[in-house]
Amino acid sequence: MGDKKIKCIDCNKDFIFTEGEQQFFEEKGYSEPIRCKDCRNKRKAEKRTSGFRR
């Protein structure tokens, strides 16, 4: 296993999915990421602000 270069589906920039990250994702049963870290963080922030109203 080596580092992988992946293209983000949101911003189309290439990002590196390191060998260590791949092992972590595999151990947790996660799928390979499709978004770079910046776009993942942006998406998480958008979900938090559009949450349920009480």
Is 4:22 a contact under the CB 8 Å cutoff?
Answer: yes
Distance CA 5, CA 14 (A): 6
Read off the pLDDT of residues 6-20 as tens digits, 9 standing for 90 and up: 999 999 999 999 999
Rounded CA-CA distance 38/19 in Å is 19
Domain boundaries, the chain: 4-49
State pTM to two decimals: 0.76
User: What are φ and ψ of residue 33, in 5° steps?
Assistant: -65, 150
In the predicted model, is pLDDT for residue 36 greater than 80? yes
Which tokens sit at 52? 């349920």
Q: What is the mean pLDDT of residues 19-42?
A: 96
pLDDT, the chain, mean: 92
Q: Side-chain half-sphere of 29: how many Cα atoms within 13 Å? A: 0
Instruction: Say yes or no to pLDDT of 52 above 70.
Output: no
